[in-house]
Every structure is written in C-alpha cells, then in structure tokens.
Amino acid sequence: MAYYLFRSLALLLFWAAPAVVESTNNVKQIAVIGAGAAGSSAAYHLRRFANESNIIINVTVFEKTSRIGGRTLTVNVYDDPIEPIELGASIFVDVNYILSNATRDFKLTVVDPGAEEGGLLGIWDGESFVYTQDSNSWDWVNLVRLFWKYGTAPYYTHKLVQGTVATFLKLYKEPFFPFRSLSTRAFQLDLVKITGMTGRQFLAANNLDGPFSHDIVQASTRVNYASNLEFIHGLGAMVAMAPEGAKAIEGGNWQIFANMVKASGADVHLNSPVTGISLNADQKYTITTAQELGHGEPKEAKPYPVAFDDVIIATPFQFANISTDKNLIQHPIDVIPYATLHVTLFASPYKFSPAFFNLPPASDVPVSILTTLGADEEAQPGKSGAGKAGFYSVTLQRIVMNPRTHNPEYVYKIFSPEAVTPDFLSGLLGVEVPESFTREEDSAADDSVVNPVSWFHTTLFHPYPQKYPRVTFQDPILGDGLYYTSGIESFISTMETSALMGMNVARLIIDDYAGVTRVEDEEVASMPAMPKYVDDEQDVLAQQQQKTAEQYGRPIEDINEL
C-alpha cells in the first residue's frame, strides 16, 4: 500500500514538473534525429570516438518510423520473411570503408548480388539493344567485353572513375577529415570542377563523350540516379560507374545500421517524429516529439525531458516538418530537388517477351535491362528523362520458389518515373497481366493456375536528390551545437556517403568536447589535389590488347576477326 502510494506520488510529481535531465555532471547529452544511414553512423561513431577520448556521452535517437535504416529497407517476396529483398539501396562496394568495416566488425554475412542468376544483361534504347553481355554479377562493367564495341573508352573511363574515387576518399583521412564545411573540402580537392559541370561535359572534357558514355555511362546514371548525363553532375556520373566489388548483406543492408545503433548504446525511440527544436535559457536544446500510439493517431507532441548539448538532424530537413525557434538555424537549409522514383518488385514465372524488345520470336532476351536514350533522342530532366524506353531499368534480382506452386520464379525490380501499369507488364512478359496485377484469391487456391505475376510490391519514394551541377553544398554545421547530415546528398548520395557525414559530425562533436583542434583550412588548401587521369594512349591500347588476348587465349589479330 505504502509503495503504491509512493509510486503514484512520484508519478504525479513527474507530470507536474517534468524532471529535465541537465548535464550538471560531465555527461554530454546528444540527440540524433533520424535512424537512417547518417543518424545510425553518427550514433555509432559518437560512441567510438567518445570511448577513445574517455568522454562520457549519452545519445538519444528519435526515429519517426517503426524501424532503423531509413531508405535502406527490404520487403518480403511473397510476403515471406525468409525472402527479403532490397527496395532501396541494394548494394555497396569495396571502397565503402564505413559499411565494409561495419560488416566485418558486426560479423554480417556478405552476398554477391545477382551472382547466381546468370543470363544476359542488355542496354535498351527504346528500340533496340545497343549492348549485351553475359551478366553474372552487379560488377558488370566487363572491360574486356566492352573493348570489342567501344575501344579504349571503357579503359579511360574506368581510370577517370578510379582517379575521382581516390580523390573523394581523401575525405576519410586527416587533414581532410573531419570537415566543418563540405564546400571548402570539395573546393580544396578540386572536386567542384567535377560537380560544377554535367556528366556529359566532364566526360567530354576528358575526350570521352562518344558512344560508350552515351550507352554505358548513361545507363549507369539512369539506374543509379534516374538521370541522363546532361542532368547529373560529373561526380554523380563517376560514382554511378564505380560498382567494383559490389556486395550486399544477406537478409538486408539495413542490418548494418541496426547494428550500429545497438553498438552505440543509444536510447532509441521509434515511432517518434520530432516536431520541434528549441533552445532553452541555458543554451541547451529541447526536442519536442510526438510518439505514435500505433493506430495512426499521433500522440500530442511533448518536450522530451532531457536538455541536449548537441543535436544532429540526420534526415532531409525539407521532408521532416520540424519547426525551430527563430534564428536557431544560423545557416538556413536549402531545399533541394529530389528525384521521384517508382520502385516495383514482382515475381513471375515468365521471362521477357522478345516481341516487346523488337527481337525475333524465341530470341534470348536479357534478364537484366538497363536503358539509355535513343540515338537521336534529346535528354530531358526529371520525369520525362526516361525517354522512349519509358523506364530506367528492369532487372532480374533473384530466382525464388513460389510457395504455392513450388515452381521457380523470377523476381524482378523496375525503376521508373511513372507507376508501372498492367499493360506495360503484359507487353513486357508477353502474357495478359490482370488489372489487379495478381489474380483474385479464388483462383489462387487452384494450384494449376499460373499467375503471370504472382506477387508484386510498388513504392514511390524520394531516394536521392536530382544531382544538378553545383559548386556549394549545405555544410554540416547549422549553428552552435546543431548539425545537419543531408547536405552531402547533393554531392554524392549513397549509404556510405551519408554514413561518412554521420561519422564526420560525430568527430566534430567529440573534438569539441575533447578540446581537440585540427589542421587549419589554409594548410589543407596547399595539399595536392586531383591526380592526372589520362596517360599515354599507345600504352593503354597495348595493355588492353594484351589483356584481351590473354582472356581469349589467342593472338590479337585473330580476335579482331571475331
């Protein structure tokens, strides 16, 4: 009885005067808003850096959805949890050091996406296939094969990509890491020269504006960033061409971020949209958050009872609907145009119809189809950018067993600017797809009925900004103790780069607590920048011919006859 009374009293007191946790001790309170790649990485690296510097921190993560991972998410084929498939960010690569290290440190299992399926990969321009090759991996840029059609352009492009990636990787290490201004670093590393022009202009500046760029590089910018070469900056085009060592986490890449958050030891609040940030009289931040009750009804937004020393906004601000006190954000956050992408996943026993691709009946149609513009087609921005092809890509993801028919089926993914229609799928598969995509339940009960589409899932989202040329980027510091990670997305938008910005902000915060000062910007400015890309053409030709000859086991003269 006494105990009960005491508890009620305590509860009463709590509601009457919310006990705000003030860091009068030396515990630093940090709020992270958003548990996607950037927020998870920020929480994790805050913990790591604080550990190293013996700083005591307490991290609180607010996430508006019910899960960790943000745009990195899976859905389940046939709604069966044993068949998860990536909806958003499907791969990462070897040079993604943060994701690769996390994969190792959390002992996650890596798979080579698309490795087992085989079949042809083709690039379709809306009328014909401009290029096809055997595809057995996402690591599809097969230099030897490409040499046949495009000569040395693939080699030089590859070098250009490697040079650009090497420059970008300087952002991971002192003196370029950490950075208070991304614009300054982009300038110091000469990367603004690449972000300041279109992919097409950058390739042209390197004498690479021929058919290889039009067909292959553009297919990459379309599948990765829903953009033609004229409407993406040079850096975006280079990143789209850097798929070496493509990998994915078995069961879903989101697990990297879930593990990061767990290892951070943060207090995590899911279903907790942040609605406001304000500064209190002690110059600490108050976060207002509404917790959803699960019936779609948001709870009334209330101030969270912790006064925060630092706040990291780790979600695109323009979609977050967070109100802030006037003057809180000293460097206003730009609204940037995001791409609108329809992602359609579906399972079908059918391969693609030769007729749809203007091929003779019974032709071997590629199972993974990327697209480019027609030869005389003018590039358009945004939604019209898909052009005659009408979609950016249709790719075989996996072969799975249909649990009802026990027959193997293909799982495909479509990226398109408009919603996929049953008509489109009927043409693509060469079989009538019903209005509802999948058939009604009663026929589903009959095992002998073959559904052209046995399962489908469609989502509309804003996966990344439209990367138009630009030379300044939203910096990570918005005000004293207030940080923002999404500015990096118009520079490069990948899981890794968002994680890099999270790590960067974590470093800045812990440096401030620890009183660490780093190399001044003037010194950094005098460091060497971009490497020279193009070396002697004759050497390259000779090397490439040598490689080709080795691959085919015969002298180059014979090969040229093929």
The number of beta carbons lying within 10 Å of the beta carbon of residue 376 is: 5
Q: What is the 3-state secondary structure (H, E, C) of 226-237?
A: CCCHHHCEHHHH
> For residues 301 and 549, which CB has a smaller minimum distance to ligand NAG in the complex?
301
Q: How far is the CB of 324 from ligand NAG (least distance, A)?
A: 12
Amino acid at 378: E
Binding site for ligand NAG (CB under 6 A): 21, 27, 47-48, 51, 58, 60, 97-98, 101, 172, 263, 267, 275, 306, 321
> For residues 31 and 369, which CB has a smaller minimum distance to ligand NAG in the complex?
31
Axis-axis angle for helices 153-168, 537-552 (nearest 10):
110
Q: How far is the CB of 338 from ligand NAG (least distance, A)?
A: 15
The answer to whether the Cα torsion of 323, 326, 329, 334 is positive or negative is: positive
Q: How far is the CB of 284 from ligand NAG (least distance, A)?
A: 12
The number of beta carbons lying within 10 Å of the beta carbon of residue 197 is: 19
Q: How far is the CB of 482 from ligand NAG (least distance, A)?
A: 18
What is the full DSSP assignment across 420-439? Answer: --HHHHHHHHTSPPPTTSSP
> For residues 46 and 219, which CB has a smaller minimum distance to ligand NAG in the complex?
46
> For residues 18 and 210, which CB has a smaller minimum distance to ligand NAG in the complex?
18
Q: How far is the CB of 61 from ligand NAG (least distance, A)?
A: 9
> For residues 212 and 308, which CB has a smaller minimum distance to ligand NAG in the complex?
308
C-alpha torsion angle, residues 294, 296, 300, 304 (rounded to 10): 50
> For residues 53 and 76, which CB has a smaller minimum distance to ligand NAG in the complex?
53
| Dist. CA 67–CA 47, nearest whole Å | 21
Contact predicate 506/49, CB 8 Å? yes
| Dist. CA 405–CA 511, nearest whole Å | 59
> For residues 53 and 353, which CB has a smaller minimum distance to ligand NAG in the complex?
53
Residue 63 structure tokens: 């996430």
| Dist. CA 173–CA 377, nearest whole Å | 43
Contact predicate 39/225, CB 8 Å? no
